[in-house]
Amino acid sequence: MARQFTPKVVTANALLEGDVVYLTADDRWTRAHTEAELIEDEAHAQIRLLEANQPGTVVGVYLADARRGPDGPEPVHFREVFRATGPSNYRHGKQAATDTAEV
């Protein structure tokens, strides 16, 4: 029996900044995982992956497992949770934008 397809998002790294980015349904790259297009069809996922390869804009394009969440797609695997929240060495970028408590 064939394995059921796990929903995906297209992700990559922005070429100039190195930030983690996600492909939206309207073909934009966003840094917010919740704005990514959640792809629930395997054939469509492969097409979106091919369309996402944009030399000069992004590098390392791939499909990452995700699930439907209340605010949009949510990462499933630890690696993708880590990539979605940003670097862990100090608060900057995505972490600084969501930081509400002073340390």
**What is the pLDDT confidence band of residue 102, given thresholds at 50, 70 and 90?**
very low
- Tens digits of residue pLDDT in 69-92: 999 999 999 999 989 887 655 555
Whether residue 93 is predicted with pLDDT greater than 50 in this model: the reply is: yes
Chain position carrying tokens 């992956």: 49
pTM: 0.82
> Shortest CA distance to 72 belongs to which of 60, 84, 87?
84
**pLDDT score at 77:** 93
The secondary structure element, H or E, covering residue 47 is helix 42-52
Cα–Cα distance list, 72 to 14, 36, 83, 88 (Å) = 21, 8, 16, 23
Number of residues written out for the chain: 103
Task: Give the torsion sign (CA, 79, 91, 16, 19).
Answer: positive
